[in-house]
Structure 1
Amino acid sequence: MKTIFLFACALLALLPAAHPQSARRPNIILIMVDDMGYSDIGPYGSEIHTPNLDRLAREGLKLREFYNNSICAPTRASLMTGQYNHRAGIGFFDVNLGLPAYQGYLNRSSLTVAEVLQQSGYTTLMAGKWHVGNDSLSWPNQRGFDRFFGFIGGASNYYDIGSYADKVRPVTLVENNKTIRLQPGQYLTDEIAGHAVQYLDETRDSKKPFFLYVAYNAPHWPLQAQPEDIEKYKGRYSIGWDSLRTQRIARMKELGIIAPGATIATDPEVPRWESLTFDEKKLWEKKMEVYAAMIDRLDQGIGKILNKLKELKQDENTLVVFISDNGAQGGFIPFGRKRQRNSGPIGTAGSYDYQEQSWAHVSNTPFRAYKATAYEGGISSPLIAWFPGKIAAGSTARGTAHLIDLAPTFYEIAGAKYPSVYKQTPSYPLAGTSLAHLFFARQEIDRKAPLFWERAGNRAVRSGRWKLVSAYPANVWELYDIETDRAETRDLAAQNPQLVTELSAAYDKWAKANDVVEYDKIRPSGNSGFAGPFQNPPATGGRR
């Protein structure tokens, strides 16, 4: 009873006042980074310098179990709409495969968070990567955002040097429906944070609350960072991935992110660090130095956003949520493309390298597999929620939460009504459940149904402690007890055939309801656009 009372008090403090334009309704800032592993920030065990995320975690809540959709566009579809990605129209990627669930852009029945909050009196702002519709009818300003700066497709260079003879592509951006260019000397991560700060400053005299979505493309490839940030990490990774992973595991246990006896996944494809030559080690060290520098820089941008909040005296009336869109990337993808050669050193504008599997294994510590899979290394993300005076400082909770839960969370704390009809189009019911009880009273999530995944034939079901998972093209169901084996090291399917039958039947029912098609029947041929249309593309080759 006491817990219920405390939650009621906390939530009442968040509900809108009688006047619909009341500035006391909470502001909401959603920050998402790209291709960053579960353990890549300080609050989740990393050695990378992330003081601003450290602060948010120290003063807020961390979730141990927050799930994404394993890859860029499907994650963003669920994040923006509160729908499973097939229902929203992005069952595969931002390419049209000829069916409504695979049309490659958000359908009109899946309302964006910006559309719902905008009609509820919020100013809606976005800076960064869109990647849920390339056609201009599906750009951010057409889907509820008052202000937008960023890029529409799946990836971008971080520098535009103004001369393209050496294969460095121009960086084409969009601001409020107008095509612009990144200027020589500008660094895209800084520009995303800078526009977020600018848009916040523009609300200075407004009586309306705001929703700000900051979608960093860092640390997504290509590996390009500011020289001064790279210098900070010089020599830090000479210990190699084996030792670094051991250090992170110890730190994660100390922080309570994983249990003292947690299972740890291994990857037989990752060579022992000591088996490398001196020159190989130096090359690999450089990649991780640049990757760390990219995360360092995005954290610096978060600090600027927090400073602007404080300057505007909105820091005590703002919910900040931080997540990653998927796990770190292993192997060479997409399929069917040649790997573009660097035209400059790793870290510069001519670099088309990326972190690669051996370091990604560290990033996804302690989990199995990588981006684009339905194993924990593909679909697990850190989540930090910060709201001074509303969310208990320094708390860590299990979850289990998913992208589809964030939209209903925002609507509940904003006092926003989710419409059954929007602009003469019926709206799909929300698929998730609000996390307000979890955030503000640490109550367990009251989820009425399991969580489900499908993307390019990779499938999963999470129900309580159990997870059913299948990797394409084997298409064999495996069963794991996530409470005791989140690293998915012990397949229990053979010992629990009835449970496998029940969970697979639940998956089949969900798949039918969400128009999921067997992947072999819809699989694109040739260059599938795995990473989507890349406006400044480094072409990459097949998996190692």
Structure 2
Amino acid sequence: MENGGVIQSISRQLQKAKRKIQNTIRTPSLQKTTCTALAFVILVHVYYNYKTTEVDLSVDNDVTKNKFGNHFTEEHKLDNKLTENKLKNQFSAHTVVTKKTNRPHIILMVADDLGYNDVSYHGSEINTPNIDLLAKTGVRLENYYVQPEGTATRSQLLSGRYQIHTGLQHDVIWPAEPRGLPLDSPIIADKLKEVGYATHMVGKWNLGFFKKEYTPTYRGFDSFFGFLNGHQDYYTHRTKFEQWSGYDLLENEKPADVEKYNGIYSTHLFTGKVIDILNTHNKTKPLFLYIPFQAPHTPLQVPDSYVKPYEGSIPDLKRRTYAGLVSCMDEAVGNITKALKVLGYMSNSLLIFTTDNGANEKDGGSNKPLRGGKSQYFEGGIRAVGFVYSKWLESTMAGTVSTDLIHVTDWFPTILNIAKGGTQGTRPLDGFDQWLTITKRASNKRDEILINIDPLSVAEGQPLFNNTFDRRISAALRVDDWKIMTGYPVNGSRSKNWNETYRDGAQNVWLFNIRRDPNEMRDVSDKYPDIVQIMLGRLEHYQ
């Protein structure tokens, strides 16, 4: 095709698309935004068709069936009725296929307090079609562990180091606390930036902000939009804690325009910001996009339109509202996935999805059939929803399940390996590069996970042995099939409530065989004292 033909082709497609949008979407501002976005897609499509003839005109039918909702204007501020009704842009978009480079775009999504039984591919009554589609066409991680609370998981995810090595082994970082993830070792954004990645973050930080050096744009991220604390109001973006209260929404290093964003639901707002980044990023440069969602963490706030579908199936109000938060987040995952496809990223992207810890069942989440939940060392608090999706996966691996032991610290060296980066300048890592284990079923490098040792939480009773780890100290460890818990089997300040609510007399040691008893119904510490002593020896080694 000659240059004139290219221009005529662009003009014809633009006019055709404009007519279709005007006939389908009645809001003028949304028409303008949609036309602009689609014009960009058509320009790229025609360019690649002209240059390389490598344009795939097909759209994945399963993805198309999952409605592309809440695609915002440049202000991400649709009127409330449109937002409430989850306006769908049902236009047929061409998928731009770009050549794979030796370094993929890396999209890292983190759900907040999503339980094991809160995704439909685990049998939940909550509908998560977009998460399911990615998980079932990627590699599902079904022996995958995180930490029992958010600060611990996020610190280990971004640093590759156990919390005993970062001073974060006791509790989350609460508002106004003068502590954070230490500056003595670079985090993943620092290392990816060193090898040429653009690094962006949208969502929840929760790793300290008592000095500016502890905030995202000083930790390797080119941009940050989100909040610094562990919780906030989904609409007003205010945080309340004890006597403190205030707005917690930042654009890079400055407070965001509160008037502009007040009233916009955070899952919608963050999704719009992610799509902004995808629209403006130069795809010739590898992209690292970190998306730690606020949802479905409390407070239980979500537009009614996401709750109504569950009115006939979930009688409990908390569970029903929580289901709405999860469904809204699932829709966001679908919108981001669609944008990755439409804008030409997906063929050269690696998408990692994880939760930060188990659900709090008192707030509507569910970890069934696992025992326990958020803040606890039982499986319900740390056995995580997680998967990897990528066109880089070999066809024989797509749609498979991995039962290899994998921990959240493993993402740091795994991502660096994929990005052709190195660990020079980092403190000793506790994570392992698991890429070949996940994608080629290679031998697993990990046979144990230190869940935690918290010397500030000490239970009642007496030491079991005098020459090894004191079982009164709150700790947990997994070695092969065995798992031991000592002291209070909960994280940080939650130990105050353990004695009153859960504790069985003066018991301060539990031993489970997770392969035989994944739901931890049978404590066998009395039956296998030799195993207990070996496991205590490993805890002593770490301490």
Residue 477 of structure 2 aligns with an amino acid whose one-letter code is: V
**2:261 is the counterpart of 1:183:** yes
Cα distance in 2, alignment partners of residues 133 and 170 from structure 1: 16
Are residues 161 and 210 of structure 1, via their aligned partners in 2, closer, same or farther at CA, if it must alter by over 3 Å?
Answer: closer
1:117–1:411 contact (8 Å) kept in structure 2: yes
Q: Corresponding residue for 1:462? A: 478
Q: Deviations over 1:463-502 (max 9, x none)?
A: 1011111251657221111111011111111111111111
1:38-437 alignment, distance < 5 Å: 38-93=116-171, 95=173, 104-135=179-210, 136-160=212-236, 171-180=247-256, 181=258, 183-203=261-281, 205-238=282-315, 285-330=316-361, 354-355=363-364, 360=365, 363-390=366-393, 392-420=397-425, 427-437=426-436
Cα distance in 1, alignment partners of residues 178 and 513 from structure 2: 35
Are residues 431 and 220 of structure 1, via their aligned partners in 2, closer, same or farther at CA, if it must alter by over 3 Å?
Answer: same
Cα distance in 1, alignment partners of residues 247 and 129 from structure 2: 30
2:413–2:433 contact (8 Å) kept in structure 1: yes
Q: Corresponding residue for 2:52? A: none
Cα distance in 1, alignment partners of residues 430 and 527 from structure 2: 32
Cα distance in 2, alignment partners of residues 321 and 67 from structure 1: 14
Are residues 161 and 330 of structure 1, via their aligned partners in 2, closer, same or farther at CA, if it must alter by over 3 Å?
Answer: closer
Structure with the bigger RCO (C-alpha within 8 Å, sep 6+) is: 1
Q: Corresponding residue for 1:442? A: 441
Q: CA deviation at 1:450?
A: 4.5
Are residues 148 and 475 of structure 1, via their aligned partners in 2, closer, same or farther at CA, if it must alter by over 3 Å?
Answer: farther
Q: Deviations over 1:56-107 (max 9, x none)?
A: 01210111111111001111110110000131232224559xxxxx973111
1:374–1:470 contact (8 Å) kept in structure 2: no
Moved more, 174-183 or 59-68: 174-183
Are residues 488 and 127 of structure 1, via their aligned partners in 2, closer, same or farther at CA, if it must alter by over 3 Å?
Answer: same
Q: CA deviation at 1:208?
A: 1.2
Moved more, 449-458 or 461-470: 449-458
2:137–2:398 contact (8 Å) kept in structure 1: yes
* Count of residue pairs the alignment pairs up: 402
Residue 504 of structure 1 aligns with an amino acid whose one-letter code is: L
1:78–1:84 contact (8 Å) kept in structure 2: yes
Cα distance in 1, alignment partners of residues 277 and 451 from structure 2: 36
2:481–2:515 contact (8 Å) kept in structure 1: yes
Equivalent position SS for 2:261? coil
Are residues 370 and 452 of structure 1, via their aligned partners in 2, closer, same or farther at CA, if it must alter by over 3 Å?
Answer: closer
Q: CA deviation at 1:217?
A: 1.3
Cα distance in 2, alignment partners of residues 449 and 379 from structure 1: 14
Cα distance in 1, alignment partners of residues 354 and 268 from structure 2: 19
Cα distance in 2, alignment partners of residues 415 and 475 from structure 1: 48
Cα distance in 2, alignment partners of residues 215 and 366 from structure 1: 26
Gaps of 5+ in 2: 1-99, 458-473, 489-498, 500-505
Q: CA deviation at 1:325?
A: 0.7
**2:539 is the counterpart of 1:507:** yes
Are residues 506 and 475 of structure 1, via their aligned partners in 2, closer, same or farther at CA, if it must alter by over 3 Å?
Answer: farther
Cα distance in 2, alignment partners of residues 154 and 23 from structure 1: 37
Residue 223 of structure 1 aligns with an amino acid whose one-letter code is: L
2:226–2:249 contact (8 Å) kept in structure 1: yes
Cα distance in 2, alignment partners of residues 461 and 310 from structure 1: 41
Q: CA deviation at 1:449?
A: 5.0
Equivalent position SS for 1:381? coil
Cα distance in 2, alignment partners of residues 143 and 501 from structure 1: 41
Q: CA deviation at 1:168?
A: 13
Q: CA deviation at 1:47?
A: 2.0
Equivalent position SS for 2:325? helix
2:482–2:513 contact (8 Å) kept in structure 1: yes
Identity of aligned residues (%): 32
When the two chains are superposed, the root-mean-square deviation of aligned CA atoms in Å is 2.5
Equivalent position SS for 2:108? strand
1:478–1:492 contact (8 Å) kept in structure 2: yes
Cα distance in 1, alignment partners of residues 245 and 183 from structure 2: 33
Q: Deviations over 1:36-71 (max 9, x none)?
A: 111101222212121111110121011111111100
2:173–2:207 contact (8 Å) kept in structure 1: no
Q: Corresponding residue for 1:263? A: none
Are residues 414 and 394 of structure 1, via their aligned partners in 2, closer, same or farther at CA, if it must alter by over 3 Å?
Answer: same
Q: Corresponding residue for 2:495? A: none
Moved more, 455-464 or 468-477: 468-477
Moved more, 210-219 or 447-456: 447-456
2:151–2:173 contact (8 Å) kept in structure 1: no
Are residues 193 and 161 of structure 1, via their aligned partners in 2, closer, same or farther at CA, if it must alter by over 3 Å?
Answer: closer
Q: Corresponding residue for 1:477? A: 509
1:59–1:388 contact (8 Å) kept in structure 2: no
Q: Corresponding residue for 2:114? A: 36
Cα distance in 2, alignment partners of residues 171 and 295 from structure 1: 24
Equivalent position SS for 1:490? coil
Gaps of 5+ in 1: 1-21, 97-101, 239-284, 332-353, 421-426, 512-544
1:21-32 alignment, distance < 5 Å: 24-32=102-110
Equivalent position SS for 1:217? coil
Residue 376 of structure 2 aligns with an amino acid whose one-letter code is: T
1:452–1:507 contact (8 Å) kept in structure 2: no
Residue 505 of structure 1 aligns with an amino acid whose one-letter code is: G
1:77–1:85 contact (8 Å) kept in structure 2: yes
Q: Deviations over 1:135-185 (max 9, x none)?
A: 2221100100001110001101101299x9xx9976420111111226233
Equivalent position SS for 2:484? strand
Are residues 322 and 158 of structure 1, via their aligned partners in 2, closer, same or farther at CA, if it must alter by over 3 Å?
Answer: same
2:434–2:445 contact (8 Å) kept in structure 1: no
TM-score (norm 2): 0.70
Residue 169 of structure 2 aligns with an amino acid whose one-letter code is: G
Are residues 71 and 133 of structure 1, via their aligned partners in 2, closer, same or farther at CA, if it must alter by over 3 Å?
Answer: same
TM-score (norm 1): 0.70
Q: CA deviation at 1:195?
A: 1.1
